[in-house]
Structure 1
């Protein structure tokens, strides 16, 4: 057979059973991408790995990572002639996915899943561009996708699988015979194989040394950290859990939006096994936990850190993770010291706003004072903080947005004389179907079509140019003013804060040089 260009993980000597397609954020056939790196599609790689272990020849085509256009993506799939093309549907990229689907050869069956498929299945089933859609999989797909690759007719017996009846044009659904197997909807994540990184074109990757690496080398002084300060780490992304117990109103992972999803945490032994495998196979020494729960529950933190200490993880690796401010607020200084000793490099925190009124509307269960206290304690212990912020949230006033600007600058000031740094990453609010705030907005009269009209935001007129280079995948908007603050001011504030963060980064790099 011919080589399969840009298709990751497939055996080129065998016919393809499926290509898993990650749609580009934009049609890069019209404008080249500016990001040097985009997050890997770990969920898609988990499904591809499981299918591969079940004996199927599958590939991942990450059109975003490769900067592909709509037509080019479809042509690559058509040329490879798989039995199935499978897509992970997300609201900001749905239009890209639908346009790719419309270009696919009619003899290639289409399978879809993802947050958007779960939130709006009937809308997707009715989309004429999805004419060859044969299965829509709700929720976690490893076991059901492998079953469908074995025999499409199994869709009639699988839970959480939908399709369009070809005669009636109505929704059809699988009806399990007997008692449904709960593993079909929520597999045992400790029993799943480790992700085959051959499916991920950008993970693991070689990271350049950062100011955080240099700070750690000065403050912790191990050979690992000193080497990383000179050459950077080999890094990989990893998932430690599935599900989130919180209900942030803007988040697709909100517990109220996923009542079918059981919250599961991988065992420490299972996680450490993957860390060691990635180190042995790829030389990885830095890991990023991208799930919601790794530092989001006290019991989980205690269990994982006991195992990390026993296995001397902090002597061998560094790692970053997302964290919950209210949970970290309850940790003692000795518990923070244990995180440091076990290799914690940076925590990503959903700070979101400096206004307590907006934080309450978001159901964040924190306030600005708690955020400052937690961030200050973390950086004093030498742990970096990456704070995420949202501007333009529904109901946000001019005073609220000013409170957020002050909050970010206060956090920067806390880091100025501390061993750890604080970085701010600021976004314009955009609604996602299936989230609590989506229901609030549609109940208030907003049209779903208008809420789904995602488009690019060009911030260069506000003086943001090179400062926005690595944010190409985040600058999306539905172009609706949801609060009291005009969008022009929301965007100019976002650009100002991003530019100030970029200047801080440049200043610390210059000082280190």
Structure 2
């Protein structure tokens, strides 16, 4: 597809800024696959000069340096944790360019919180943008305003301003069933031989999109806009892995699928082809994949020993199991059809084939008590995991959890703390700050045991906790000043605090009182921010409070 250029502007810059508050992803030097895919599509299918700027590769990205490149368009990733950085960046960039360069955003934050992304965007893509980005650029290159607006109105999933200046959204989401892109890492500044500069360098790769399940908390339906599970052409997957190894020297891959090997026949062909692609090579790719425990049991959809062995031989080095909880009540609430015996069986089969295991847990569902969350560390150790990652229930926009429990959200929590680790809702069987503490206490207890790899993860979690401290203190203040005095939480006969759902629901149905409640919470979150620079950060100790 060809596009005309004007005033010598023929460059598109795609930018990924780093979040100011650490999260686990920050300790891996890895660009996000969405921007890589879009940059590669633009490089192949347009005549624009395309450059992707990834801050860990390039060093600090400033509005001045970007403006100096005289781009025709700027595209930003849409992570919630970087929304404040994106806003500050774009404000200054617009000053320098007098608002003449369109800002296009997409990704998780843009899809789930488009009203927030409007601050720093001219055009916002919800859901998949592989095909829509080409349609958008075609529309923007039109000289005639009527033609331009007509074409804009046909781009699925696009938020944009109409001729009257009001924001519009094109509904009618269309899933991409034939995923069509191949990485072109030459457009990523600093990617060449990146493995020589970064010890923790890895690369995302995608083999499928979507999932065949619908857990109550999962955001994949919101991100894609519609159900469906679609696989990429195996030739394209092999290309991305081989190209990455040859161009960057990186051999470690994070497979970004919501559900790897959801199509066993596809997975078998992929394993066969991938193993053959690296026959005779000294180094092989190492893949970390996200899977479910029931894929390694004896039920429907479970993988055979033969297939697990083939995948391991092809490079599946680690499986990240989405275990979510050790509470049967919470698993039921999540619509997660699993139990602890299933988890043990899955770990035995993976260990049999020499595949490493890590696991993710989502804490704060209604079956979780404080001690249950902390005890995830002991369960993870028994399971033989090399790392255990406990995240906070988030009540994500558009999920079943949001529909049923949206009133529990604590409004005003700053975006920088919405990094998976931050608690910004009201759990049933403990105070929000207790859940926040328990999440990190579990991670600390687990990673204090074991060898060097756990110690590295421990330092990462300690750094994250240090960055989270203002948020933790804000939660405690909200509890002292609002939640406990106003009866939203009440002390139980066993000594802990329990959510008084009837009190909260009565508050929620009173629009004026609930609005006041939200305003007060938001003010406290904001007022806690000066502590980021002035308050010492105490180290959590396992015996700091009783978790029994």
TM-score clears 0.5: yes
User: Any gaps of 5 or more consecutive residues in structure 2?
Assistant: 1-7, 141-147, 456-548
Mapped contact 1:355–1:404 kept (Cα < 8 A): no
1:315-355 Cα shifts (integer Å, max 9, x gaps): 75232211121122233434333333333211011111111
Q: Distance in 1 between matches of 2:453 and 2:21?
A: 36
Deviation at 1:279, TM superposition (A): 3.0
CA distance in 2, matches of 1:172, 1:487: 35
Root mean square deviation, CA, Å: 3.7
| Equivalent residue for 2:33, pick from 37, 42, 51 | 42
Q: Deviations over 1:215-256 (max 9, x none)?
A: xxxxxxxxxxxxxxxxx8974331111222221222221x47
Give, in angstroms, the shift of residue 505 of structure 1: 4.4
Equivalent of residue 113 in structure 1, options 99, 106, 113: 106
Partner residue of 2:324 out of 349, 352, 355: 352
| 1:145 match | 133
CA-to-aligned-CA distance 1:181-205 (integer Å, 9 cap, x gap): x6xx52632x322242542656875
Structure 1 residues 134, 75: CA separation in 2 closer, same or farther (over 3 Å shift)?
same
1:267-282 matched pairs, under 5 angstroms: 267-282=233-248
CA distance in 2, matches of 1:124, 1:170: 13
Match of 2:343 among 355, 359, 371: 371
SS in 1 for 2:160: strand
Q: 1:449 to 1:93 in 2, by over 3 A?
A: farther
Aligned residues: 428
What aligned pairs does 1:110-189 form with structure 2 within 5 A after superposition? Answer: 110-121=103-114, 123-124=115-116, 127=118, 129-130=119-120, 133-152=121-140, 153=148, 154-167=151-164, 169-171=166-168, 173=170, 186=176, 188-189=178-179
CA deviation vs aligned residue, 1:340-374 (integer Å, no higher than 9, x gap): 33332110111111111111211222222211220
Distance in 2, Cα, partners of 1:244 & 1:482: 27
How far the C-alpha of 1:386 sits from its partner, in A, is 0.9
State the partner residue of 1:395: 366
Change (3 A) 1:52 1:250: same
SS at match of 2:358: strand
Check the 8 A contact 1:234/1:286 in 2, yes or no.
Answer: yes
Partners of 1:250 and 1:46 lie apart in 2 by: 26
TM-score by length of 2: 0.67
Tell me which of 419, 422, 446 is aligned to 1:501.
446
Equivalent residue of 1:389, what SS?
A: strand
Contact 2:79 2:107 in 1 (8 A): yes
* Residues 419-442 of structure 1: CA deviation (Å, up to 9, x unaligned): xx5321122333332333222222
CA distance in 1: counterparts of 2:241 and 2:62, whole angstroms: 33
Could you list the per-position Cα deviations for residues 414-465 of structure 1 after superposition, in whole angstroms to 9, with x for gaps in the alignment? 43xxxxx5321122333332333222222xx346844x644549xxxxxxxx
Matching of residues 239-278 of structure 1 within 5 Å: 239-253=206-220, 255=221, 258-260=224-226, 262-278=228-244
TM-aligned CA deviation for residue 306 of structure 1: 3.7
Residues 89 and 114 in structure 1, CA contact (< 8 A), matched pair in contact too: yes
The equivalent of 2:524 in structure 1 is none
Structure 1 residue 298 corresponds to structure 2 residue 288 = no
Q: 1:412 Cα shift?
A: 1.6
**DSSP 3-state at the match of 2:74:** strand
The aligned residue for residue 389 of structure 2 is 425
Unaligned runs of 5+ in 1: 1-13, 210-231, 416-420, 458-472
- The 1:406–1:335 alpha-carbon spacing in structure 2 relative to 1, beyond 3 Å, is farther
In the other structure, the counterpart of 1:74 is 63
CA distance in 1 between partners of 2:329 and 2:189 (Å): 41
The answer to whether the 8 A contact 2:181-2:236 is kept is no
Q: Distance in 1 between matches of 2:59 and 2:89?
A: 14
- Between the aligned partners of 1:197 and 1:365, the Cα distance in structure 2 is 44
TM superposition shift of 1:384: 0.6
